Each structure stands twice: as C-alpha cells, then as structure tokens.
Chain A
C-alpha cells in the first residue's frame, strides 16, 4: 500500500508529460479527458490510501515511505519521500477530488480556446506540484511543490497573456509569492539550525518526545515564535493574507477554471496546510498564535468589506476567498486546527461551486463579467442559478448547509481566544451573507440588463440569448452543490462520536489543538448568534438589491479599491515592478537604444541622479570610489588594531 502513495502525484505528472510531448498528435477531447482521468485515478488511489489508514490504529496512522535520497550535505539529508497521515490524506482527497471536477469542467469551458492542450498541460503540472507539496515528508521537498505551485499559477493566471492585465496579474502573483517564499525559506533555515533536521517525522517526533518527558522543550519558545512567524509569512503569501493578498484579486484575470482551482482547491490552501502541519511548533510559541489570529481576523474583515463594493462577478468571489482564508487563519491562530481544516474543505466545495457557477454565467454572456450588466438570469440558467444560491447560503453560514458548521467552529474557537476576535469574525459573517446576497440578486434576479453585453461582446459565435451551459459544466456544479450541502456531516459538533473529522485529525494535532470548554448555554447562544448574523446579512441584501441594481451609497469607492492596499503595494514595490513595467508598457524604444549606444553612465531614472553619478563611466571616478572603499576598510581595521 505504501508504494502506491507515489502513484498519486505520478498520475498528473504522467498526464503532464504525455500531453506535453504527444498532445499535439492527439485529438483535443482525448487530451482533456486523459488529463481529467489521470487526476481522477489519483483521487481513487487517494481514497484507497484513506481506507488503508482507516484500517490502522490511530497511533500507526503515519506512513513515511521513501523513494530515494535526493542529496546529503553534512547533517542535512533530504529524501524524496512521502508522508501520509490523517492530515495529508484529507488534503490529497480533496485536492484530487476538486481538481478532477475542475478538469472535467475545463473541457467544456476551454473548448474554444486555441491553446486548449497547453492549458491541460499546465493544469496537470499544477495538480502535481500541489500533491508534492502536500505529500512531502520534509520541508525541502514540500518547498519544491510550493515553488511549483507558484510557477504554475503564474503561467495559468497569465494564460491569456495577450491581455496586458492578465500578464501583469501573473507577474504580481509570482512576485508576491516570492516574498512569501522568502519567509518560508528563512523559517526553514532557522528550523534546521534549531532542530538539525527538516524531516517531519524527526522534527515533530522530537518535539513530541521532549514534551512527553517534560524537561527542556526541543525548541524554545522564542525560537518557535520566530520559526512559526517566518513560515507564516510564507503561508500569508500563498494564502493571501494582509498585506500580501493583492495578487489573489488580480489572479481573476486567468480563465475561470483556474480561478476555481487556485482559489478553491489548491494553491491558497497550501498556506493553511503548512500552518496546520507545523501546529506543534506554533503550540510551543506563546505569541505566534495570537499574531496569526489577529492577521486572520483583520484579513477576513477587510476583504469582506472590499467584496461589498465590487462589480466584477469574479472579483467579489476573489475578495470572498481572501476573507474566508482569513477565517481559516483565525482558526489556526486560536488553536482550532480541525476547524480550520474543516472550513478549508467546506470552503473548497462552495467556493469551487461559486467560481464554476460564475464561469457558467460568464460563458453564456460572451465573456461579460460586470454584474451590473446581468440580472434575471435565473430563469434562463436554472441549474447554475439554483446551485449558486446553495453556495450562497452555505458561505453565509445558514444551517443545514456545510458553512454553518465549519464557520461556527472557527468562531467558537475565536471566542475562547478573545471576544474581540469573535466580534470581528461575527461582523464579517454578516458582511459575507450580504455581499454574496448582493451578487446573487444582481446576477440572477431583478431586471435583465445583459442585452447590451451580448451585442458588445461577440464572444463565442452568435449568441442570441443567454443559455444554460452544457452538461460537462453543469454536472460538476450539481456534484459540488450536493457536497456543499452535505459536507457539514463530517463534523456536526453535536456529540464527539459524530465528529468524524475531529476524531480523524486529533492524532496529528494532539496537544496543539485548543480544548474548548463552554459553560452552560454559551455555546448555544453563540450558535444561534451565527444563524442570526447570516439571516441579518441576507435580509440587508434583499432589502438593498432585490429591486434595484444601483445603490451607490452602499458601494464605497475606498472599499472598491480594496482599501487602497493594492495601490500601496504598487508604490512600495514600484522599483521592483518598474523593471517589469518598463517592458510592459513598451516605452523601451528610444531610451533603450540611446542609452545602450551611450554605453556607460546610463542608469536611468529610477535610482536617481546620485547613483548615476557613481557609474559615470570615468576611470578616475571609479578609481576614486575604489580608494574610498579602501579608506573605509582601513578605517575599520584601525579601530580594531592595537597599534
């Protein structure tokens, strides 16, 4: 059984290679279905591995088969090996499951695209990278997957690279991810320095055994704080937390299945997974959890407010994802790892559903994305509309939909951490129900405003009327809708015997998982509160948007621009992106040619006159600077010399 684990990432990798080398000889349909089927096979293998784990005792549920030793430097030896425990098995199940559906959906969605095959090549590689990230048995191999996911997302977001906005969005994603990677790498180095190993089994085993023997902790508190927070920088980059969330919103420029794949199932959950993986380290630190919870709550709130003012159907969903990820980190920071994973899974279902539903709408309106130009589509697209509404109620947190249970768990934990965090989460819950309600009303109800869109965009041939999407697109919608409704069953929170997910994951988190105890009716009051918040949000949305499509007082400009954080980012990183911008805006011509001919002394603009003066091209000034350096160094040694 253990060897089979390697087949899970091998399947999409095989798909990648087959389609890369032989794709051009295969008919389009074959390419698409082959890619889908291989990911589907991964899902089936993941399922058998899950049952295999289930058959073991809970203490033995950690398999670490080794493939080969990648390299060994000094004390550091890195193996290409897998680590399958309850946490990673849950991850691979839902990564491969959701990815299979999205692959199938893409066959319909990308049908008209001339680069259909390339798309599936990227898609398979993306899933492969994600599986490497999740299944790795050490931080270095996980980092390979981590980087791979980043690179693939860059290609996929800028898939339509002839759109300038898509190309720049891809770059933004890549660059911000690099900032995150930098945190990851530093955290990894520090961990190696402290723990002398980067292997999960040995690091977490040592932490557990030193905790069991009492005495000196394996990693001291301050060290654990530093490591956890550095890794959190990485997680914040991948999972779009303040202030690194700007890329996720722009990432909407990619094809819709990519948005669904990135936002729902894979990339953004990588950060949450990493944090859950290092739960024992976070647990050793006294402050890291608090920082993570605060960042999470702030992100949830800021993104939810921004979502209320967006007009692009996908941008609303993008901010919504950021906000939901904030909830997940709120859960992690509060020690509610199970709740965070639970929310991640349920979110994967309803967010994938929302994106695919949005894609279905966009597809039928000839690539129109402005919700102000939609309306009254429910009757024309009943399946899309109905499933979309299910997703809305689920994300709003209304029982019996899955979102109620998962978000409720996070809020419970937040309350026990601090009532302030809970309050922020609660306000965000109202906002969530509201902004999704706004989108539902503007897209599916009210007056039809799509005529103009259909005449303006001559998308895919002659559309006379919006129409329901083909089966290959609606079937995934239906499956995801059912999952969105039922996923709550995993962890109902009624009695411990029905909390399947908690029981499954507890061996992984152990003491790191916060133990929640509530006196008397507190828990019931909080849960009723959740329902009230959801209804309140839905009520406001209905009052404000069911009749009209224009309500400027509710669409604050400041929020529309995402609290200006994007702008801030641009100005802070203006230097970095200026190099890209120069190339993008094609202002190169004269400056470049003249500059190049003039040769030296040509450090244009950006760094100002002073640096240009240094690189003057004159030998005498170069010699002067060398002398200056010599004097500086000699000056330094004189201070150290005992003359």
Chain B
C-alpha cells in the first residue's frame, strides 16, 4: 500500500515491499487450500458428493490452526513484529485472533459436513467459501493498514453473503443472503468513506502512522477526522451487529443454514472486533474522549436491545441471533474501556463465545428443517427424555452463554465487566449486568423446554408434528443411502415418534463439534489459567 502512496508523492518509481510469506502463512494456507479443493473437485467430479472434500477442508483448517499456533510460539519467544511495509502486524492480538478464527473454521468445517450430508448441495462450494472467508477474517485481524482492513473485510463478507444464501431451496435463505449483501455493501461503502476521511485528515492509511501523526500534530479542525472515525465505527459496527446496525442479524441467522449461522456469529464477530479494537485503540488513542462515548452508547443499546428482543423470539435461530447481539454488547464493553484489560477481556470473550456458539448452532442444525430453515424452540420439547446427552450438552452451552460458573462464560463476562468498572463506567457495568440477568431468562427457557415433557394430548393435532411428517417425507424422497435408519420402522411410528427418530440422527461430525465445544467451555471454565494467560499476553502492538 505504501508503495502506491509513495508513487503519488515521489514519482513513477515503484518500490515493492519485501514480502514475508511467513507473516501471512495462515491466509496463504487457507486460500491455496480452497483453490486446491476446487481444482481437485473439478478434476475428479466423483469426489464432489463425498466426505473426502470435507476431510480436505478439515486438513486445510487444521494446518492453518497449527501454523497460527507456531506463529504464537514465535511471538512468545521473539515478540511482536510488523511485515510487508507495516501493512501486516503480527502481535499477540492478531495471532490470538488467528487461533480463534482458524479454530472456528475447523469446527465449522465439521459442522458444515453435518449440514451438507443432510442437505446435499454444493459441498465443494460451501467449504471453499468458508476457507476463503476465514482467510479474510485472519487478514483483517492482522491488518496494519486501513486498506488491508478493508480488503480483509470484503474477502470475509462476500463469502459470507453467499453462505447465508446457501440453502437455495429455502426462500428465507435467499432473502437472507440478499439482505445481507445489500446492507453489507451499504456498510462497506460507509467504512470506505471513513477511510477516505481519515486519509484526508492524516495523510496516511497506515494505522501506526496515523497514531504517530496524531500524537505529534494537533489537528485544529478535527471535524473531518472525527467524521472519519465515526464512519469507521459504523462500518465495523455493522459487522459485529451493534445496535442500531444489527437489523440484518436475525433475518440472516434465521435464513442461513444453522451451521453457517454459527460460523458467521463466531468469525464475523471476531474479525469485526479485531478491526474495531485495532483501529480505535492503536490508531486513535489520542481521540479517545471522542470515540469512547460513541462506543459507550452502542454498547448500552446493543446489550439492552439484544437481551430484550431475544426474550420474545420463538425460533431458536432468531433467539440466538439476538443473543449474539447481546454478546456483541459485552465485547463492546471491552472496547469502551479501551484499556489493556479491556482488550484482553474482549479477546477472551471472543474465543469463549466462538466455541459456545458454534457448538450451539451445531446442535440446532440437528433440528433444522431444510425446506423452511426454521427451528421453533418447541421442537426441542422433551429432548431430555429422547436424547439426554444432547439435551445436557445443549443446556451446558446455553448456561455457559448466560455466564454460568465453571464455564468460560463466567470469566468472559467477568473480565469485560471488571474492565468496565476499572474504567469507572459504572452505569455501563450496571446495564451489562442487568442485561445478563434478562439473558438468563431466554437461555433458561430453552433449557426448560428441553427438560419438560411432551404433552400427550397434543401429539396428534400439533402443527409441529405435521411438519415433522413433512420433513420425513421430503427426506424420504431423496436417496436414503446415507441415512442409517431402519426404513420399515418409521412407517408405523406415530408423528411424535418421528420427531424422536429425527432428533436421534446426529452425525459423527456434529458429535465431534459439540464434544470439542463442551470440552473447551467447561475445561477452560474450571482451569481458566492458560487461556487467561494467553489473552493477557495478546496485547496490541502500538
């Protein structure tokens, strides 16, 4: 980027920066991996509908994860560094998020397999889009320049638009993708305009240079600069679903396949917050008094609106969408604090949320119906009887999201609220905790439904059960090969029993995803030290 800027000021001599491929290793792995998978699938079309594609995607994400961990250990021993003309920053913050994002991608490939073997469409495309969007997210996390932030944001978003619209048989999904695309384009334009204004005010798009410019110069007429910051916040606020830029979230999360929604919730948030934290805290520390009130207001609104609207939802995907908005409010607390404690609190929150939300959506996926994409909470009624293990795991993931002790959820909420109190934003801390109390209601509600029994008299005439029959019928139309269930038995089962049989069909991949999520959430809930220590080390490089 700098070379282009240099071009404008010094003449036609193009200086290429030295490129450290190691610094963008995970991005390269993910993008090359996606290309290789596309290539293989077009050379050997017979593979297209097999799990081999999923296995390859899994391998790619695993390598990316390992590479991120290698980068982390390098960072721990050698400290942070910059690369490619300072447009890439390899600090603890970036690498922590690389690990978060590549773990999310790894889990989502598995969850995606669980979804694709049910839905049987576009297996190759789904995985490739997922890999590409992760590459974008990682690029965003390690961006040291506003243009690179934008590049990462777009690579991430465009892939996500398609993933949202992936379930083409389902009208809601198409609608979701289109909405996301239009509004996303709108917010990208706003973000880009923010970059332009910032460039106008400071003469650079490099985050480090912006900071040093602002530290050494007093901007007398700072209207342009402040407007630029405001627009950057709006653009990223859209990605992280901060109120009032959240409106796409419920529609998209509901319309998209559950596996994709879980991925979006985790990765889009992690990447969006990476940008927000990096830009506000490293580029504009001098402008803190100007942006802090904005974030304060966004956080308060996001916390409250997310929690209250989640209560009245009856579709679990929509409920989780509003719950993700509420979670975004909590991460915003860390941003609003603007301190080192706030940053590490936000990071801890993001990684904890990543595992919880992907696990939750992987379970929701089991109950999803491909034609409408809806999952009424009622469909989980009595799950504790029919599949106690699944009900227990779902309950654990939900109460973890509510911030229950001995899960990562508690310490996540604890660390961001502690940072808020430390920054003396007592009112915001109170709002956050009130919203946490409200949030308990809707998580508990799902748990209560799972642990209550199916009313016997309603079995025959309940519309849910009719729907279950339809699902069964449509499932039966296709090839039954991969459904390992006794065909003969089902014909004689009562409708309610069909629901049971359906809920028991959980793919191995989904089991692994849920297992890892639970292990992570409870394991680091009981022994949080390593993770807390990591989040503590993951500082921003100024």
Contacts and interface: CB of A to CB of B under 8 A. Distances in A.
Asked if A pairs with B, the answer is: yes
A640 B226 contact: yes
A189 B183 contact: no
Interface string A55-95: 00000000000000111111010000000000000000000
B155 interface: no
Contacts of A607: 308-309, 312
Interface in A163-221: 167, 171, 174-175, 178-179, 181-182, 185-186, 189-190, 192-193
Given A71-B529, A192-B418, A590 B238 contact: no
Contact of A641 (B223, B251, B406, B532): B223
Interface stretch (A416-424, A447-455, A621-629): A621-629
B46 to A, nearest CB: 38
A627 to B, nearest CB: 9
B227 A606 contact: no
Contacts of B344: 73
Interface in B438-462: 438, 440-442, 444-445, 448-449, 451-453, 455, 458, 462
A531 interface: no
B405 interface: yes
B315 interface: yes
Contacts of A147: 404-405
A100 B445 CA distance: 34
B93 to A, nearest CB: 17
A583 B418 contact: no
Contacts of B404: 147, 151
A182 B297 CA distance: 21
Interface in B292-330: 293-294, 297, 308-309, 311-312, 314-315
B462 A599 contact: no
A637 B248 CA distance: 26
Nearest to B466: A593
A182 B312 contact: no
A612 to B, nearest CB: 10
Contacts of A605: 312
B528 A144 contact: no
Looking at A161, A185, A193, A607, which has the most chain B CB atoms within 10 Å of its CB?
A185
A335 B294 CA distance: 45
A190 B532 contact: no
Nearest to A582: B314
A642 B220 contact: yes
Given A74-B341, A593-B464, A182 B441 contact: no
A69 B247 contact: no
Interface in B466-519: 467
For the residues of B in contact with A, the DSSP-based class is helix
Interface string A485-508: 000000000000000000000000
A625 to B, nearest CB: 5
A578 to B, nearest CB: 7
Contacts of B39: none
B222 A642 contact: yes
B418 A76 contact: yes
A633 B296 CA distance: 12
Nearest to A601: B251
A579 interface: yes
Interface string A353-394: 000000000000000000000000000000000000000000
B438 A576 contact: yes
A596 B250 CA distance: 12
Contact of A603 (B179, B226, B312, B422): B312
A522 interface: no
Contacts of B434: 182
B309 A611 contact: yes
Given A71-B528, A175-B441, A641-B222, A596 B374 contact: yes
A580 B229 contact: no
A634 interface: yes
Given A73-B532, A76-B418, A619 B311 contact: no
Contact of B444 (A76, A174, A595): A174
A222 interface: no
A626 B444 contact: no
A222 to B, nearest CB: 13
Given A73-B415, A162-B453, A619-B182, A576 B441 contact: yes
A588 interface: yes
Interface in A562-621: 575-580, 582-583, 586, 588-593, 595-597, 599-600, 603-607, 611, 614-615, 617, 619
A615 B247 CA distance: 7
B242 to A, nearest CB: 9
B421 A189 contact: yes
A582 B314 CA distance: 9
B467 A593 contact: yes
Contact of B441 (A70, A580, A588, A590): A580
Contacts of B372: 596-597
A622 B245 CA distance: 8
A579 B312 contact: yes
Given A162-B453, A636-B294, A626 B312 contact: no
Contacts of A337: none
Contacts of A580: 441, 444-445, 448
Nearest to B222: A641
A596 B448 contact: no
A162 B458 CA distance: 16
A638 B224 CA distance: 9
A21 to B, nearest CB: 14
Given A579-B445, A589-B462, A633-B233, A148 B405 contact: yes
B211 interface: no
A604 B312 contact: yes
Looking at B247, B314, B440, which has the most chain A CB atoms within 10 Å of its CB?
B247
Contacts of B294: 633, 636-637
A628 B255 CA distance: 25
Contacts of A637: 223, 226-227, 229-230, 290, 294
A192 to B, nearest CB: 7
A642 B172 contact: no
Contacts of A192: 418, 421
A189 to B, nearest CB: 4
21 contacts: A71-B411, A71-B529, A73-B344, A73-B532, A74-B536, A148-B405, A161-B452, A189-B417, A579-B445, A580-B444, A589-B458, A593-B464, A595-B314, A597-B372, A603-B309, A603-B312, A619-B183, A630-B234, A637-B227, A640-B226, A641-B226
Interface of B: 172, 175, 178-179, 182-183, 186-187, 190, 220-223, 226-227, 229-231, 233-234, 237-238, 244-245, 247-248, 250-251, 254-255, 289-290, 293-294, 297, 308-309, 311-312, 314-315, 341, 344, 372, 374, 376-378, 404-406, 411, 415, 417-418, 421-422, 426, 429-430, 433-434, 436-438, 440-442, 444-445, 448-449, 451-453, 455, 458, 462-464, 467, 528-529, 532-533, 536
Given A599-B172, A626-B234, 19 more contacts: A72-B532, A148-B405, A161-B451, A167-B452, A179-B437, A189-B417, A588-B376, A593-B376, A596-B376, A607-B309, A615-B250, A623-B183, A626-B183, A636-B293, A636-B297, A637-B226, A638-B226, A642-B220, A642-B222
Interface of A: 69-74, 76, 143-144, 147-148, 151, 161-162, 167, 171, 174-175, 178-179, 181-182, 185-186, 189-190, 192-193, 575-580, 582-583, 586, 588-593, 595-597, 599-600, 603-607, 611, 614-615, 617, 619, 622-623, 625-626, 628-630, 633-634, 636-638, 640-643
* 8 nearest CB pairs, A to B: A637-B226, A641-B223, A629-B244, A592-B314, A622-B247, A579-B311, A596-B374, A189-B421
